[in-house]
Structure formats: structure tokens, C-alpha cells
Amino acid sequence: MKKYIKFFIRFTVTVLLILYLFKKIEVKHVLNHLFLINPLIFLSASLLYILSSYISTLRWKIFLSNEVKVSELFSLYLIGSFFNNVLPGIIGGDVVKIFMIKEKVGLKKAFASVFMERYTGLCALLLISFIFFCLFYKKLPQNILIWSVPAGFLLFILGTIFLLLIGKTKFFREFHDYILTFNKNQILQALFYSFLVQFTVILSVYVIFLGVGISVSFFEVCIFLPIIILISMLPISLSGIGVREWSFILFFGKSFGDTPIVAVSFLWFLSQVFASFTGGVEYLRFKKPLNVKKE
């Protein structure tokens, strides 16, 4: 019951944010941008999203060594993206990945590997956002939302400390001890892949900017996009819809106008949704957990 209440609240917030957004922008002009963009530009952004998913798969593989093939993990990663982007709020993509791989590696390792893959990804994103926040604070829009960056960074540190502390309790000890089996090199490799993922994502958005006809500098996208992604991760709407568009307006609207910027945000999201349908195909192909016996 609680799950459906949360879904309803996030759905309501999403609808309200979009309705308010449509009152502020020229919807017809946004639709023109959506329909008139060069298909090759849109396809390039989608392919870059798939590339970022593949790099994320390599990051995930670090925490599973040789137990599962990269090709199998890549399929599972795409399936997770499908549930996150195409079926938001139904079931989390990470839950799907854990369920589909647990028959191969066991539930504990499945959960731990997904946790560490996400943890290092979030760590890299927060580091990038916090560094840019500190270096270019005076150039950032003075809005309360930008304080989600240092707040998120602080919460991440406190959350890490909290996890280390509760790991000493009997209930979490086994999971805590297992996490500590990952060595320093694995963590550093995962962080390296995480930075590559962020660079690929930034490049995909930059391509869309150019496709819409906005002459933005790549450096500007590098500064603002990690912060936008961080804000969009706040669990208040479905797939960040509405929150992401308003964040784009906050950081780019003053320079380039609200309407084309909203078009960029929608096109970026749609390019991810389009790419995520490959995960739907993979899900139909798998239909069940990996058909292999645990070694």
C-alpha cells in the first residue's frame, strides 16, 4: 500500500510540474524542436546513452570478477534502464538486475555488486558537482536548488559513515564484511569508469544542444549538467520528469531562453527512453533469471 501511495505522490508532483511548465513556455515551439531535430543527432544521443550503459556495465563487472560475462551483464543493465526509464515507478531497475543475476552469483553478491556499482557512480557524480560548485559558485544561478549539491555531498559522507557504523551490528555485519572484501584497486577502477560515464552523458547532451541550434560551450555543459543530474535524482517525481526540465531552465534558461532549453531536456530524456527499449527486447529474450548454475 505504501508503495502505491509513494507512486501516486510522485505522479502528482510530476503532473503539477509539467502543467506549470506548460504555462511558462511556448509548447508549440517545443514540439517544433522535437519533431524537426535531425534524426542522426537524436540517434547519436541515444547511442551515447547505450555507450554510457556499456561503460557502467564494465564498472559493475569489476565487483563480479569472472562470474558473469560482460555481454550478459550488459543485457541486464539495459533491462534495468528499461524499467527505470520506460516503466518508472513500477519496479526499480536495480531490483530487476539483482533478481535476474542472483541465481548465478547468489543474492548477497548480487545486491553488493549493484550497491557498489551505484555507490561509486554516485560518488563520482557528487565529486564532479561539488568541485564545479566550489570553483564556479559565483557563476551559478543564486537559487536554493543549487544548495542540493553541497547538501548531497555532505549527506553522502554522512551516509557512508552511517553504513560503516551499522555494519558493526549483527544484522548488517555479513553484508558489511562482504563489501570490505572489495579492494582499493577495484574502487579506483570503478571510479575511473564512473568519470567516463559522466563524460559520455555530458557529450550526449552537448550533441542535443547543437541539434536544437543552441551554441553552448562544452565547458558550460560540463559545469551545469552534473548538478542538473544530481537535482533530478531527488525522489520527488517519476524519472526526474519536471524536476529535470526546471533545472535546465534554472541553469541555461537565462542565456538561451526557456522554450529551446525545455526542448533540449525533453529530447535528452526521450533519447534515453528510445535507447532503453533495447532493454525491453533483452527482457523478452531473457524472460527469467540467468539460466546458469551457481559455481
242: left (phi over 0), alpha (psi -120 to 50) or beta: left
Look at residue 283 in the predicted model and tell me its pLDDT: 87
Whole-model pTM: value is 0.86
H helical segments located in 182-217: 184-212
Q: How far apart are CA 51 and CA 37, in angstroms?
A: 21
* Per-residue pLDDT reduced to its tens digit, 170-221: 656 766 777 777 888 989 999 999 999 999 999 999 999 999 999 988 888 8
Q: Which residue has the cell 526521450?
A: 270
* The residue to which cell 577495484 is assigned: 186
Residue reference for cell 560475462: 69
Mean pLDDT over the full length of the chain = 86
Taking the alpha carbons at both ends of the chain, their separation in whole angstroms is 38
* Measured distance CA(40)–CA(135) in Å, rounded: 35
If we measure between CA atoms, which residue out of 114, 121, 108, 124 comes closest to residue 60?
Answer: 114
Contact by Cβ (8 Å): 99, 223: no
pLDDT of residue 171: 58
Return the C-alpha cell found at 17: 510540474
A 10 A CB-CB count for 47 gives: 14
d(CA 68, CA 105): 8
